[in-house]
């Protein structure tokens, strides 16, 4: 019962919309115009970080195909962006979606250097992914969903951006009391059960979970209804 009641409260709140931040200030450092991209690149793109170490396998498991249009939500320094650009090919499209302008400029430069003309950067907001309706076949959110300050509102815009039957890939940190590090317990607001419930309430259905690839993170696929 202790686990059911918070979940019921969450679903009720989502059903009536969301006007308050779930974690105020979570993105302040990324909104800083003085954000140091080089410093964050060293943090994000290091072999000691599981998703960086497994990036090629993660891209393969996402299920992209040539010609697809996809969105790298919270693209950061572009850890996955160019890999996605190669996966969808010249006839495909990659929208690198970010709240941090400095990251987008960095991705533009990386894409230009790699001659990845199928990459387009999108500046999003705290409440919207800022993508056109029915513009993408797949959305990829990796270690970023816990930074959604207004998840309900953001998911509404993401649902609209996906084509009917489109795929949402969600990868985030496992948050298990007694097993997860103190940093993750404090930084990530909720565990897999809560995040999945939020996504399901937004009009998606869970279709798959990749369990043999990552240890620190879970990897779940949803379909837009």
pTM of the full structure:
0.92
Nearest-angstrom CA–CA distance, 184 and 27: 16
Nearest-angstrom CA–CA distance, 154 and 57: 27
- Give pLDDT, residue 18: 57
Instruction: Examine residue 58 and state whether it is found in any structural domain, yes or no.
Output: yes
pLDDT one-digit tens code per residue, 45-91: 999 999 999 999 999 999 999 999 999 999 999 999 999 999 999 99
**For residue 88, what are the domain limits?**
38-224
Instruction: Examine residue 14 and state whether it is found in any structural domain, yes or no.
Output: no
Taking a C-beta distance cutoff of 8 angstroms, is the pair 220, 191 a contact?
A: no
Instruction: Examine residue 21 and state whether it is found in any structural domain, yes or no.
Output: no
Instruction: Examine residue 33 and state whether it is found in any structural domain, yes or no.
Output: no
- Give pLDDT, residue 101: 98
Instruction: Examine residue 67 and state whether it is found in any structural domain, yes or no.
Output: yes
User: H/E/C letters for each residue in 72-94?
Assistant: EECCCCCCCHHHHHHHHCCCCEE
Taking a C-beta distance cutoff of 8 angstroms, is the pair 184, 198 a contact?
A: no
CATH (domain of 110): 3.40.50.150
pLDDT one-digit tens code per residue, 183-193: 999 999 999 99
Mean pLDDT, consecutive 10-residue stretches, the chain (225 aa), reads: 48 55 96 96 96 98 98 98 98 98 98 98 98 98 98 98 98 96 96 98 98 97 97
Instruction: Examine residue 4 and state whether it is found in any structural domain, yes or no.
Output: no
Residue 91: closest CA among 125, 118, 61, 109: 118
Instruction: Examine residue 23 and state whether it is found in any structural domain, yes or no.
Output: no
Instruction: Examine residue 97 and state whether it is found in any structural domain, yes or no.
Output: yes
The number of distinct structural domains making up the chain is 1
């Amino acid at each position: 019962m202790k686990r059911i009641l918070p979940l019921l409260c969450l679903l009720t709140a989502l059903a009536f919309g969301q006007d308050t931040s779930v974690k105020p200030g979570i993105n302040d450092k990324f909104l800083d115009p003085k954000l140091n991209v080089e410093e964050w690149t060293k943090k994000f793109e290091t072999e000691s970080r599981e998703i960086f170490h497994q990036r090629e396998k993660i891209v393969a498991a996402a299920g992209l195909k040539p010609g697809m249009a996809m969105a790298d939500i919270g693209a950061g320094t572009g850890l996955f962006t160019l890999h996605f650009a190669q996966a969808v090919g010249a006839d495909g499209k990659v929208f690198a979606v970010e709240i941090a302008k400095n990251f987008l400029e960095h991705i533009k430069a990386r894409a230009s250097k790699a001659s990845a003309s199928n990459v387009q950067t999108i500046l999003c907001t705290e409440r919207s992914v800022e993508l056109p309706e029915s513009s993408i076949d797949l959305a990829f959110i990796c270690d970023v969903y816990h930074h959604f300050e207004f998840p309900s509102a953001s998911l509404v815009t993401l649902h609209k951006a996906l084509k009917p039957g489109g795929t949402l890939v969600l990868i985030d940190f496992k948050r298990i009391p007694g097993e997860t590090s103190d940093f993750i317990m404090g930084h990530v607001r909720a565990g897999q059960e809560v995040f999945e419930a939020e996504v399901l309430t937004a009009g998606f259905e869970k279709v798959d979970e990749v369990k043999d690839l990552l240890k620190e993170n879970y990897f779940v696929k949803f379909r837009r209804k």
